[in-house]
Structure 1
Amino acid sequence: MSELLYEVREAVAVLTLNRPERMNAWTPGLETLLRERFAQAEADPEARAILLTGAGRAFCAGADMDAVAAEDGEGPGSTAAPPAVEGDFAQRYSYLMSGRKPLICAINGGAAGVGFVLPLFADIRLVAEGAKLTTAFARRGFVAEHGSAWLLPRLIGPMNAADLLLSGRTLRGAEAASLGLARALPDAGFAEAAFEVARDLAANCSPRSMAVIKAQLRGAFVQTLAEATRMADVELEKCHGVPDMEEGVAHFLERRPAAFPPLPAEG
């Protein structure tokens, strides 16, 4: 059985961390599989949205501490600094932001360390109200890993980010929602409700529109308001005459479900 399951249901590629006996603790193998399965989902013509979640009672309990204790200083699970690469969205995990399809992370249970960081790269974060989350770094002798010190202030503000990173305290899903970190859903029926969020995007939203909006959101990290507005104006002009806009207007006027075409090739 794979440590990371892949299936497509109702146009949603579901990626499931599958080490429930270890609370989906992170390993070099999982890191490699996630990159491969994410690329698979991006290339899959049957998938219009991507949902990342965990099997069992946890999302990801952080690094597998047995592997950390036995670390030899090499490999993708190592704390040794990897070779520097260019590009904000080409880093160790930030590639998760580089895709064209919406990425929804469903935090079904405990999330710590790298298990806390991974969802930060998703477009939409959903969390079970009772789930326990912690950065944990300061309590394990580590530092704010994988760009989390850059992402968290932008998501929840500088003071809240400092609180979570410096203290390594545990918070519940309901508090994560109050901070704007994620949207909380009831524990009962969480998996089904999270899937419905992804299914709704896949069924009712234009793949082309979502891909462009994701590019706009990435650009907004470094753009001025004027630059972001200009990008919007240029992209809006490109919408005219494309099948997605025609279908978007037609299904609304005809009061029927949308039938948007597949995501067009890049270029």
Structure 2
Amino acid sequence: MSYEDLTYEVKDRVATLTLNRPDKLNAWTGAMEKSVKKAMAAAVADDDVRVIVITGAGRGFCAGADMNLLQSIKAETWEDRELATAAREEKFDFSSGLGPDVSPHYGGRFGYLMQVKKPIIAAINGPAAGLGLVFALYADMRFAGSEAKFTTAFANRGLIAEHGISWLLPHLVGPAHSLDLLMSGRKVMADEAARMGLVNKVFPQETFMTNVMDYAKVLSETVSPRSMAVMKAQIWKALFQNFNDALEVGDSEMQKSFGSADFKEGVAHFVEKRVANFTGR
């Protein structure tokens, strides 16, 4: 399968999606958006893939929307712009039937990522700005290289908190940090991003992708794919539940897990002191 402005590779049960416009710091295009969605669907359908990593080619993660596209936007034709139509053109069913249904809660251009049953790791190797930062927030986890930097940039362009960042960002870093990042548009380096909770962990730049892939391999080789799918859905659903609702879902899903092949294997490999052979079933 071919992809425009993106490369796709599967190795060691990890699918790596690389935004591929290094000469433009991987600035986002309509073609890139379609390719990312198509590649995510391919990764979901591939039983050999258990973890998805998305990163950027060259020295950047994503510099935001391509400026040529921003310059062409007119208020009266906003919904017909290239990036908006790209989001609507690619249609895939990402529902898995594992865990609670999160589809009613996450719409828009990137909400489908919450439905993807496999863990998505954003490997932020360099600058992540504007739309590039928003996209990274839809990942389940974010790791940053020590030279990575972050900026919302919207206020500097006369724009607002777009594409769900006004909800995602406060859930990660709180309202005060969110307003600081959004209103000032200032650049935040990796270590500060980690302190405020914007990223999970910072790895040294020279070993960054090796460290990310080592973590991805832990997920792909040592834990149940079924468990990860259910837990991902539980967490994203719980943000719209009270405690008792989340507890009820947990009890129900626990009962279902007792009948799964992965539960039987989880007990067996521990008792037999051998490497696990999970199937995701």
Report the TM-score, using the length of structure 1 for normalisation: 0.92
Cα shift readout 1:19-50 (whole Å, capped 9, x = no counterpart): 10111001111111111111111111110111
Partner of 2:213: 195
Percent of aligned positions with the same letter in both sequences? 46
**2:25 and 2:59 in contact (8 A); partners too:** yes
How large is the RMSD of aligned CA atoms in angstroms? Answer: 1.8
Which of 71, 85, 110 does residue 93 from structure 1 map onto? Answer: 110
Report matched runs for 1:18-29 at 5 Å: 18-29=20-31
Q: Deviations over 1:46-73 (max 9, x none)?
A: 1011111111000001111122223464
Preserved contact between residue 31 and residue 76 of structure 1 (Cα < 8 Å): no
Aligned to 1:59: 61
* Residue in 2 that maps onto 1:230: 248
Q: Is the 8 A contact 2:13 2:220 kept in 1?
A: yes
Structure 1: where are the runs of 5+ without partners? none
Q: Report if the CA contact (8 A) 2:4-2:32 is conserved.
A: no
Letter in 2 for 1:5: T
Aligned to 1:36: 38
Q: 1 CA distance for matches of 2:181 and 2:116?
A: 28
8 Å contact kept, 1:63–1:113: yes
Amino acid at match of 1:123: D
For 1:88 and 1:240, the matched residues in 2 are separated by 28
Choose the corresponding residue for 1:154, options 167, 171, 180. 171
Count of aligned positions: 259
Q: Distance in 1 between matches of 2:4 and 2:207?
A: 25
User: Given the alignment, which residue of 130, 140, 147 partners 1:123?
Assistant: 140
Partner of 1:257: 275
Q: Alignment partner for residue 50 of structure 1, among 52, 67, 76?
A: 52
**CA displacement at 1:195 relative to structure 2:** 1.3
Aligned to 2:61, what secondary structure does the other structure show? strand
By how many angstroms is 1:245 displaced?
Answer: 0.9
CA distance in 2: counterparts of 1:139 and 1:71, whole angstroms: 16
- Using structure 2 for the length normalisation, give the TM-score: 0.88
Distance in 2 of aligned mates of 1:28 and 1:87: 25
Q: Which amino acid aligns with 2:61?
A: F
Q: Does structure 1 residue 17 correspond to structure 2 residue 29? A: no
Alignment partners' CA distance in 2, 1:241 and 1:69:
55
What does 1:149-228 correspond to in 2, within 5 Å?
149-182=166-199, 183-228=201-246
What SS class does the counterpart of residue 205 from structure 2 fall into? coil
* 8 Å contact kept, 2:125–2:147: no
Counterpart position of 2:98? none
2:211 partner letter:
A
Q: Which residue of 2 aligns with 1:141?
A: 158
Q: Deviations along 1:165-189, whole A, 9 cap, x unmatched? A: 1111100111110011112111111
Query: 2: CA distance between counterparts of 1:49 and 1:156?
Result: 25
Q: CA deviation at 1:199?
A: 1.5
CA distance in 2, matches of 1:78, 1:243: 42
Amino acid at match of 1:49: V
Gaps of 5+ in 2: 89-102
Write the distance in 2 (CA, Å) between the matches of 1:249 and 1:166.
Answer: 51
How many angstroms does 1:78 deviate by? 5.2
